[in-house]
Amino acid sequence: MGSQTKYNKKELVFVPIRIATTTGGVEAGAVNYAFYTNIPTDSRTALGQVAITTPADPPLNTVLASNFPKPRRASRRTSGVGGRYTSSFASSAVLTTLKVAGWRITKPRITKPPLHLPTTRPNSFIQTVYVTYRGIKYAWQLPKVTITNLTQATVTALGINLANAGDFDELCFGANSPKPPKASVTIADGPQNSKTLSTFYDPSVTLPEGWTESKAPRIAFN
């Protein structure tokens, strides 16, 4: 039989996770992964899930439903007649305990968004970049033509970091929240034309001359 709570209202929780860095499952770095669940309360406790009671001001170092990284999943069917099946994300801190208790644990996810670096992908048209925001390294792929149009000095002034191999275990891609703000600038494009460029930036910096915030940051988990 399925879970008796499958139709209950889902609540917001998080689990601490680590990012798998090798095919052998070596895991490093750390971030909290937030998601909605309605599994039974005792299972949430066993899986190390922590309730988020202030979704408008969630904990730092926490991402909501990022594309990468994602936690490992634990599943178990209770024995006997009418046994119930439960499956959800688990905290990295309780994986060994869960295995002893009969839970099945998925293997670490080692497939990552490709890291685009000039040294490893010199012919790539994009560059992996990030800004540090609310305790996470919010990462995305920035077109190199945008870097050329902005100049490296402006990219640095916006608080945008060019990722390197040492950052990869901490980068978060595609998180619903938090998202850093975006800023834009209009620059000349020929004698009579202009073009507007927009990108994420680190809100702790002072925007360069001519730049304005074009999209507010997203903090709340909703």
Q: Are residues 182 and 148 in the same domain?
A: yes
How many other CB atoms are there within 10 angstroms of residue 95's CB atom? 20
Q: What mean pLDDT, rounded, does the chain reach?
A: 87
Q: What does DSSP say about strands 27-37 and 212-215: parallel, antiparallel, or unpaired?
A: unpaired
Which has the closest alpha carbon to 108: 64, 134, 72? 72
Q: Are residues 35 and 77 in the same domain?
A: yes
Q: pLDDT tens digits for 101-130?
A: 999 999 876 666 678 988 888 899 999 999
Task: Report the number of distinct structural domains present in the chain.
Answer: 2
pTM (2 d.p.): 0.86
pLDDT at position 188: 77
- Asked whether residue 3 is domain-assigned, the answer is no
Joined together, the tokens standing for residue 179 give 């998202």
Q: Are residues 145 and 89 in the same domain?
A: no
Q: Is the pLDDT of residue 16 over 60?
A: yes
pLDDT at position 29: 63
Helix, strand and coil percent figures for the chain, each rounded to 5? 15, 35, 45
Which has the closest alpha carbon to 12: 89, 105, 73, 68? 89
89 contacts 33 by C-beta, under 8 angstroms: yes
Q: pLDDT tens digits for 154-177?
A: 999 999 999 988 787 788 999 999
Q: Is the pLDDT of residue 33 over 90?
A: yes
Q: Are residues 21 and 83 in the same domain?
A: yes
Q: Are residues 91 and 135 in the same domain?
A: no
Confidence of residue 2 (pLDDT cuts 50, 70, 90): very low
Of residues 28 and 52, more confidently modeled: 52
How many other CB atoms are there within 10 angstroms of residue 130's CB atom? 24
Q: Are residues 99 and 151 in the same domain?
A: no
Of residues 86 and 24, more confidently modeled: 86
pLDDT at position 189: 74
Joined together, the tokens standing for residue 64 give 């909501």
DSSP string, the chain: ---TTTTSPPEEEEEEEEEE-STT--EEEEEEEEEEE-S-HHHHHHTT-EE-S-TTSPPTTEEES-SBS--EEEEEE--STTPPEEEEEE-GGGHHHHHHTT-EEPPPP--------TTT-TT-SEEEEEEEETTEEEEEEEEHHHHHHH-HHHHHHTT-EE--GGGGGGEEES-SB-B--EEEEEEE-SSS-EEEEEEE--TTSPPPTT-EEEE--B-S--
Q: pLDDT tens digits for 43-92?
A: 999 999 999 999 999 999 999 989 888 889 999 987 655 568 899 999 98
The boundaries of the domain holding residue 208 are 126-215
Q: Are residues 137 and 174 in the same domain?
A: yes
Of residues 208 and 24, more confidently modeled: 208
pLDDT at position 22: 52
Q: Are residues 199 and 152 in the same domain?
A: yes
- Asked whether residue 36 is domain-assigned, the answer is yes
